[in-house]
């Protein structure tokens, strides 16, 4: 130990010599040989979990190191950001996304959406209602029809408001059998009575909405009748029945008509409003903004879907097979029940309509023909990319025309050449004048 301190002291004296003094080198002491170091322990290989974590970290570092995000990812991000901002703005105003759409103006001039929503025409009142109000309005219309024709109204109720079609079929056939037995055996009293507690009546008739109102409308009334009750002190026990009124026996033809009407009727369906629009030529024809009405998802599912879309940014950078991409595309298309289609004419004018996603291409051809001055003119429709829509039986969702698409109309060249050779003056547009009088500007 003493030798160690002497070496340090000599070393300090060597370094701190004053000016003019000669630095003396410290005495050199032979160093002791270092002890042999212990052999290092063998290094353990990383576990599987550690390797996976390292690979994930490396992948994230490589992803951050990229200077430019692919266009598809950027588009997805922009769409997600836009939708989230719209939803936040709607929440701030105290409105849900659906209520916000209700306050949107119709498609006229500059608007937020290509259409303000999905609308239906009530077949009973002719009133155009929003999709969310369709069921309520239809029920009110049928209830109001009871004052006009109670039999027809009750038949509408049975076929429209009972969703289980098999139960409806069985119930309708059972009631038709009741009426058929009365018409075939009017003298038999047993056919004119229906016991309310009867098992068949309970399982087939009572479980359906509108059936009892139908029986009352065709002439049945409720009565409490005594019936033999075996095994009890009282020889008779009252039971409730539907009993046909006596005056209906002279109106058997009416009962037959009611039976046929019951069997031949179907659900009352509101008709989809096409919301036909005509736009002036515009470079924005291929730009679409759709409201939430076009989704088959509920509002809650839409919110969850928006959260899941952020994951699509990472999925877009992954390598996927063609089969995987097509499967995902089909799954995306099934989220839509409706589609907005635009048809651009050779003169630039644009015809727009709303359709069911599963309607056939032939419906679009008919839609275009009804808008023409001369509906006999032959034409073809080209899908985006120039593909001819020759198979008119295919639905829109199988042609890639969902949830929106811009198509191009092409006239038959030979026919148009003949027309131009004969006609002295061609109209400004092949569309009907009443449609052109309401032309709008697309922005």
Q: Cite the DSSP H helix spans in 42-164.
A: 48-65, 71-92, 97-102, 134-145, 150-161
Positive or negative, the Cα torsion across 190, 196, 198, 199? positive
Report pLDDT for 134. Answer: 93
In a domain, 66, yes or no: no
DSSP H helices in 334-360: none
Model pLDDT, residue 228:
65
pLDDT, averaged in runs of 10, over the chain (443 residues):
49 46 45 50 56 54 42 43 46 41 38 81 94 94 94 97 95 96 94 93 94 96 79 68 94 96 95 96 91 70 56 55 56 74 96 95 97 93 93 92 95 85 73 94 84
Domain assignment present for 276: no
Please indicate, yes or no, whether residues 364 and 259 belong to a single structural domain of this protein. no
Q: What is the pLDDT of residue 302?
A: 53
Is residue 165 domain-resident?
yes
Q: What is the CATH number of the domain that holds 127?
A: 1.20.58.2190
Q: For residue 66, what pLDDT is reported?
A: 39
Residue 47 placed within a domain: no
Same domain, 251 and 343: no
Q: Which of 271, 292, 312 is the last residue of a domain?
A: 271
Residues 137 and 257 in one domain: yes
Residues 237 and 338 grouped into a single domain: no
Domain span including residue 246: 119-271
Quick check: 193 and 241 in contact, CB under 8 A?
yes
Question: What is the rounded CA–CA span in Å between residue 64 and residue 71?
Answer: 16
pLDDT reported for residue 330: 53
CA 342/CA 383 separation, integer angstroms: 10
pLDDT of residue 230: 56
In a domain? residue 430: yes
Inside any domain, residue 398: yes
- Whether 255 and 349 share a structural domain: no
Which CATH number goes with the domain that contains 429?
3.10.20.90
Determine the pLDDT at residue 122.
Answer: 95
Interhelix angle 165-184/252-264, rounded to 10 degrees, is 160
Q: Looking at the domain assignment, is residue 295 inside a domain?
A: no
Same-domain pairing of 264 and 162: yes
- For 365, phi then psi, to 5°, come to -60, -45
Of the candidates 271, 290, 312, which is a domain's last residue? 271
Confidence (pTM): 0.64
What total of structural domains would you count in the chain? 2
Q: Residue 429's pLDDT is what?
A: 85
306/166 Cα distance (integer angstroms): 37
Q: Which of 239, 271, 303 lies at the terminal end of a domain, its last residue?
A: 271
Is 163 found in the same domain as 257?
yes
Instruction: Please report whether residue 72 resides in a domain.
Output: no
Q: Of 316, 321, 322, which Cα lies nearest the Cα of 66?
A: 316
- With vertex at residue 380, the alpha carbon angle to CA 347 and CA 284, rounded to the nearest 5 degrees, is 45
Question: Does residue 252 share a domain with residue 125?
Answer: yes
pLDDT in the model for residue 12 = 43
What is the model's pLDDT at position 336?
Answer: 84
């Amino acid at each position: 130990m003493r030798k160690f301190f002497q070496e340090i002291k000599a070393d300090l004296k060597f370094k701190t010599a004053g000016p003019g003094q000669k630095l003396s080198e410290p005495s050199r002491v032979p160093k002791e040989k270092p002890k042999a170091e212990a052999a290092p322990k063998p290094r353990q290989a990383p576990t599987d979990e550690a390797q996976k974590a390292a690979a994930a970290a490396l992948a994230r570092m490589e992803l951050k190191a990229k200077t430019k995000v692919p266009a598809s990812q950027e588009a997805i991000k922009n769409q997600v950001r836009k939708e989230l901002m719209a939803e936040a703005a709607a929440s701030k105003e105290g409105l849900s996304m659906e209520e916000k759409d209700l306050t949107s103006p119709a498609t006229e001039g500059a608007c937020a959406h290509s259409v303000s929503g999905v609308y239906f025409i009530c077949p009973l009142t002719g009133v155009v209602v929003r999709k969310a109000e369709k069921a309520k309005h239809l029920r009110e219309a049928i209830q109001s029809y009871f004052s006009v024709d109670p039999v027809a109204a009750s038949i509408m109720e049975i076929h429209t408001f009972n969703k289980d079609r098999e139960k409806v079929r069985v119930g309708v056939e059972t009631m038709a059998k009741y009426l058929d037995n009365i018409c075939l055996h009017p003298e038999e009293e047993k056919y004119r009575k229906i016991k309310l507690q009867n098992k068949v009546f309970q399982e087939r008739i009572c479980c359906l909405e509108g059936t009892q109102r139908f029986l009352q409308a065709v002439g049945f009334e409720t009565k409490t009748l005594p019936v033999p009750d075996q095994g009890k002190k009282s020889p008779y026990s009252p039971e409730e029945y539907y009993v046909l009124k006596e005056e209906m026996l002279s109106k058997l033809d009416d009962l037959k008509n009611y039976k046929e009407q019951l069997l031949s009727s179907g659900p009352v369906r509101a008709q989809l409003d096409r919301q036909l629009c005509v736009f002036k030529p515009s470079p924005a024809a291929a730009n679409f903004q759709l409201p939430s009405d076009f989704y088959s998802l509920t509002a809650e599912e839409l919110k969850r879907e928006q959260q899941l879309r952020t994951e699509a940014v990472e999925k877009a950078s992954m390598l996927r097979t063609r089969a995987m991409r097509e499967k995902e595309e089909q799954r995306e298309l099934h989220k839509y029940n409706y589609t907005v289609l635009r048809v651009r004419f050779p003169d630039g004018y644009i015809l727009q309509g709303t359709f069911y996603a599963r309607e056939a291409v032939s419906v679009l051809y008919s839609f275009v023909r009804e808008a023409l001055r001369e509906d006999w003119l032959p034409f073809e429709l080209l899908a985006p990319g120039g593909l001819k829509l020759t198979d008119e039986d295919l639905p829109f969702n199988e042609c890639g025309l969902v949830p929106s698409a811009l198509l191009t109309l092409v006239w038959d060249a030979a026919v148009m050449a003949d027309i131009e050779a004969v006609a002295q003056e061609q109209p400004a547009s092949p569309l009907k004048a009443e449609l052109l009088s309401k032309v709008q500007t697309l922005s």
